[in-house]
Amino acid sequence: MDTLEAAPPALQKRLKKAERREQILLELKLRPHFRISEMADRFGVSTETVRRDVDKLSRDGLIDRAHGGASAPIQGHYPGFDERSGERQKERERIGRRAAALVRPGETLMIDSGSTTLQLARALSFAGTPCTVITNSLPVAMTLGQGPNAEVILCPGDYLASESAVVGPEAIAFLSRHRVDRCLIGASGLSDDGPFEAVRGFAAVKRAMLQRSAKAHLLIDRDKFGRSGLVQVGGLGSVTSIVVDSAPEGTLGDALQIAGIEVLVAPR
C-alpha cells in the first residue's frame, strides 16, 4: 500500500474511518511522529476528526498521543509469547482444562492470543469438543485445526511476529461482524479496576470479543493478580467469570464478590 506521500491532497479520495486509521498506523511505521493538522490536510477532513482517530488508536494501545499529534508507541520490555509460554506451565494447563469444561458441544467461541488460551485450545482439541472458533492467534488456530471437530476462523489484521497474532482496525472490524456464545480471553494483569493488557493492540481485540459474546471468561493465573498494564481492557463487570489457579484474596477478592463475578478455581 502506498503512503499518503504518494499523492497531493487534491487527488486523495475521501477515506472511510477504518481506512484513515490504517493510514495513520502506516505513517507511524515510516516515521516517529506526525501532527494532527498535517494529517487533517492530507485526509481532507477536520482536525477534530483526526483527533478522534488518534484518541481511539491511543486508547487501544496502538499509538502514543503526543502534544498536537501522535507518535509510535515506545515499548518497554514485556516477555514475548514464546517466553511467556514456558512460565507456570502446570498452572496454565490446569486453567486451560477448567475453561475448556465450560464449552458446550456446538457452541461458537472467540479465543484471543495468549499462553493460557493456547492451553485452552489444547484441552478443547484433546477433548474433541465440536465448536466454531474465531481467533486472532495463529497457535490457537493451528492447535484447534489439528482436531476433526473444530471449525476455525482466523481474523485478518496486522501481524505481530512476537505474539504470532494479528491486531489492528481490520481485526476489530472483523470481530464486530460476528456474535458468539462465549469468549475466552487472557490478560497481563487483573486489578480492582478490571483486566489490563501490556501487548500493543491486544486490549482492542479483547474489548471487541467481550462486546460480541453472550458470556465472557477471563483466564488468568495468580501471578497477575493486582497488576495493571499499558491499557485497561474493561471494568470487572465486563466478564462473566474468571478462571484461575488460585482464588484471589484481599481487595481484589472483595471487588470480584461485589461485582458478582464468578470465580472458577481449576482443580489440582
Q: What are 120's three cell numbers?
A: 485452552
Helix/strand/coil percentages in the chain, nearest 5 = 40, 25, 35
What whole-number distance in Å separates Cα of residue 46 and Cα of residue 168? 23
Percent of the chain with pLDDT over 70: 88
DSSP 72-113: PPPP-----HHHHHTSSHHHHHHHHHHHHTTPPTTEEEEE-S
Q: Which CATH architecture has domain 4-71?
A: Orthogonal Bundle (1.10)
Nearest-angstrom CA–CA distance, 190 and 59: 18
Helix (H) or strand (E) holding 34: strand 33-35
Q: How confident is the model at residue 74 (pLDDT cuts 50, 70, 90)?
A: low
pLDDT tens digits for 117-166?
999 999 999 999 999 999 999 999 999 998 889 999 999 999 998 899 99
The predicted-structure confidence for 161-220, as pLDDT tens digits, reads as follows: 889 999 999 999 999 999 999 999 999 999 999 999 988 899 999 999 999 999 999 999
pLDDT value, residue 40: 86
CA distances from 84 to 81, 102, 139, 223, 227 (A): 5, 24, 14, 12, 16
Give me the pLDDT at residue 59, please.
Answer: 77
What is the arithmetic mean of pLDDT over 93-116?
97
Q: Which residues contact 248 (CB under 8 A, 6 or more apart)?
A: 190, 222, 225, 242, 256, 263
Kindly indicate whether the domain formed by 81-265 is annotated with CATH number 3.40.50.11540.
no
* 111, three cell numbers: 479465543
| Domain boundaries along the sequence of the chain | 4-71, 81-265
Cα–Cα separations (whole angstroms), residue 223 to 138, 207, 227, 245: 25, 22, 9, 10
SS3 assignment, position 216: strand
How deeply is 165 buried, as exposed, middle or buried, from its count of CB atoms within 10 A (0-12, 13-18, 19+)?
buried
CB-CB neighbours of 211 under 10 Å = 15
**In the numeric block, which cell numbers belong to residue 193?**
479496576
